[in-house]
């Protein structure tokens, strides 16, 4: 037999799932923004510390 048992969700269960999904999206967005900000802050340091950009030590 090819029957499937489906569980119906109550409104409160559905709302809890939506709330958790919203939390996960917010955490993912915050993590992405932190990574982007870190990359923007570190970029000038990487350029300055590049050996080909360094000033010669002898005058």
Number of structural domains (the chain) is 1
Q: Is residue 6 part of a domain?
A: no
Q: Is residue 56 part of a domain?
A: no
**What pTM was computed for the model?**
0.62
d(CA 43, CA 37): 10
The answer on pLDDT for 16 being more than 80 is: yes
> In this structure, are residues 47 and 53 in contact, taking their beta carbons and an 8 Å threshold?
yes
* Confidence grade of residue 14 (pLDDT, cut at 50, 70, 90): very high
The answer on pLDDT for 20 being more than 80 is: yes
pLDDT at 59: 53
Q: Is residue 29 part of a domain?
A: yes
Domain containing residue 33: 11-50
pLDDT tens digits along 27-48: 999 999 999 999 999 988 877 7
Q: Is residue 42 part of a domain?
A: yes
Q: How far is CA 2 from CA 6, 7, 32, 34, in A?
A: 13, 16, 44, 49
3-state per-residue secondary structure call for the chain: CCCCCCCCCCHHHHHHHHHHHHHHHHHHHHHHHHHHHHHHHHHHHHHHCCHHHCCCCCC
């Amino acid at each position: 037999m090819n029957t499937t048992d489906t569980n119906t969700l109550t409104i409160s269960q559905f709302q809890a799932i939506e709330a958790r999904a919203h939390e996960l999206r917010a955490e993912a967005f915050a993590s992405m923004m932190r990574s982007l900000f870190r990359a923007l802050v570190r970029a000038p340091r990487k350029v300055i510390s590049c050996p080909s950009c360094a000033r010669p030590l002898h005058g």
